[in-house]
Each structure stands twice: as structure tokens, then as C-alpha cells.
Amino acid sequence: MISIGYSWIDDYKTLSSKDTELKELYKEYSKKTIYNPESTDNVFSTQLETDDSHDRLLDICVSAFTPGSYCCDNLGYCFITSEPLKELGVKNFDALILKQSTKYAIFVECKSSISSGEVTDGYKQIQEIISKKPYLEQQIGNEINTIDFVFCVRATKVQQLAKQIEMVEKSKKIDSDKDPVFLLWQVEMFTEQTLQLVSKINISTRKKEYHLQHKDNELTKVLGKGMQIPELEYIPRLYPSSNPYTQGRTVISKLFNENDINVRLRKHNIDDKKQEEIKKTITEKRVYDFFQSKNNITHYDSVNVGKNLADHFIGESLNFGILKQVTSDSYLIDLEGKKLDTILNNYKKKYKENFLENQTKKKAYDEYLKMHPKLPGL
């Protein structure tokens, strides 16, 4: 989900206080179902479902290449980082897997749905990786001599994606003998998720059958059979581009639980009101420590990427009334409830209401600026 910026809000407040036209635009957009907080068919729920589905695909891919997996322990292909080049603000892949001994890199892009421009964007991402390879090698501390690029989708989306790949490769005159091309991984969602290389599919632009296979025959063999990821080995993660609501829910849960444990370990008595206050108080440092830890959000530039995520969480939560500042470096989780489940239910309700209101205001504001592009001072 795109992070909500606040640079336009002051302008919106100033204009709406004296311009009835902007107020009417806001009312008009508010009435539409997609922005109705009471409707299940709205941009918040739809985007959250899409983002969660994407992250689950990525989780399965990552879990197949973490320590303890066959691909990592036996073949040497291990997950290194999520979203390489994210810190540069360019198109980037979801994950980088690397076999350090042979300097063999696999860049993976997960797609929970297939829109018309997915493959075109994918080839732009390939060019970003190629052009910034020296920078990337410096960041990961390892050379890259061999590269594979992969699209990972649910099994039901493979045929649709293959057709789009074929169309784009024809239009761009891509030569699979010499140009980098995409391989395909599919995920079957059953009791045990299965990650599998798709090599038996017709893409007419591929001149040879092995152009749908990894350059490592052993890896092709293993992934061709399919890698089962049991629920016990499936590890849900947060990523730099995970939905901000999901990130916020996770950090609130973690810090509240830590506070709860600390309260229980105290030997002297604390009244219920004070206990609740302690459990709901979080410091700025703990928020930044959470987002900048590679154990929570895996990225090689965790300091800078994590800082941006922490900045967004605090700014958005204050704006939405989810956090209330109590000192210069501490905040109160300003949500009703003594138990975590209740707090999280109220978090979703308040986040959703504020998110939709901000989206509605932004849409009205953008429309207003189109109608009045030469407003002084804007």
C-alpha cells in the first residue's frame, strides 16, 4: 500500500476552510462505496488483501532458501535480502537469493495478481539490476557473476503470465540466446505450500527448452520436482513494502507484549490503571530498534530503510490518533482495551476510518487542483 504523505494536508485544510467547492468534492467522493468505511468493498480492504497475498507468496519463496532448507544447506542458495535497491527509490525485485561460492544470484519478483504492465515493468527492473550491479555487489559484500530473474505466481496465474511474457518479448525483440529473460516459479496452495519451477510451458519466444530452466542443473532438478514448505517451516515476515497497517499491527503487538512481560516480572504491586499505562507506553527508541533490526525487516541497508519505516509509522499513527505523545521520546498507544486482541481490533477500526478519510480528502484535493491549476502559493 502506498504510504500516506502529509505535505498536502495543510493546503487542504486552508482551502477547505474557505472554499465550498472543495468541500463539495469531498462530500461527493465520501459517498462513493469505495471510500465508505462501513462497506467491505473499499480500497483499504482490497489493498490489504492484495498486499497480504503478495507477502505470503514472498514468505514461501524466502522460506525455501533460509537456513535449514535443502536449497540453502545442501545447494548453497540462501536468501540474502528483500527488495535490493529499495533504498535508491528505483524499481526493485522482492528478494535476492545468492550462492556465494559460485557468485550465482537469483532475483525474485512475486505477483499475487497479473495486470497488463507486469512484464514490461519486470524488464525495467532487470535493467536497473544490471546497471547498478557494482553498487549491489558492494552492498552485499559479494561479486555476482551469474544471474537468473524469476517471476513467482500462484499456479493458477502461470498461463496468464506466460502469455504476457511472450507478447512483451516479441514486441521488444528479446533474444533468449543472449538477453536476460524471466524464469517462472509457481506456488500451489494446499496443506503444504509447494514452490516449483515451471519449465514445461509454451513460450514461443524461447528458442531452446533450457531457456526456461536455471543455469544450475541441480537447482533446476530440485525446483522442477517442487519444494514443499510445511506450515512449521513457513515463516511470515515483514518487508520494506509490506502494508503499513500490517507493519503497525506487528510493532504494536510486539512492544505491548514486551511491556506485558515486564509488568508481570515486577515484584512490587502496581494498580490496574498504572499497569495498563505501562503496557501501552512505547519509546521512540524501541520503535526505531524494531524497524532497523534485520530480524524484523530483512534488508542490507536496515538502518536507513528502517528509519524511513519508523518515521512513517510514528507520523501516521500520530496523525490517525493511534499514538499520543506523552514525552519528547515516548508515546501512548491511544486505543481502548486492556488485552491485546481488543487493542488490535480497535487499531484496525481507527486505522481504517482515518485511512479512508485521508484517501478521500486526497482525491478531492487532487481533483480540485486539476480544476484550479494556477492557485497562488500552491
Least confident of 189-193, 273-277, 341-345: 189-193
Binned at pLDDT 50, 70 and 90, residue 58 comes out as very high
For residue 72, the model assigns a pLDDT of 96
Query: Does the pLDDT at position 92 exceed 70?
Result: yes
Query: Does the pLDDT at position 5 exceed 50?
Result: no
Stated pTM of the model: 0.88
Query: Does the pLDDT at position 30 exceed 70?
Result: yes
Gap between the Cα atoms of 249 and 260, Å rounded: 16
Q: Which three cell numbers stand for residue 32?
A: 462513493
Binned at pLDDT 50, 70 and 90, residue 207 comes out as confident
Residue of higher predicted confidence among 133 and 35: 133
For residue 233, the model assigns a pLDDT of 67
Question: How many angstroms separate the first and last alpha carbons of the chain?
Answer: 26
Binned at pLDDT 50, 70 and 90, residue 293 comes out as very high
Gap between the Cα atoms of 163 and 116, Å rounded: 11
Domains within the chain, CATH numbers bracketed: 9-40+239-371 (no CATH), 67-229 (3.40.1350)
Residues 6 or more apart whose CB falls under 8 angstroms from that of 278 comprise 259, 262, 263, 270
Name the 3-class secondary structure at 12.
helix
* Backbone phi, psi, residue 89, to 5°: 70, 30
For residue 342, the model assigns a pLDDT of 97
231 contacts 318 by C-beta, under 8 angstroms: no
Each residue's pLDDT tens digit, 12-29 = 888 887 778 888 888 877
Binned at pLDDT 50, 70 and 90, residue 375 comes out as low
For residue 205, the model assigns a pLDDT of 93
Q: What is the mean pLDDT of residues 244-261?
A: 95
Each residue's pLDDT tens digit, 73-87 = 999 999 999 999 999
192 secondary structure, DSSP code: S
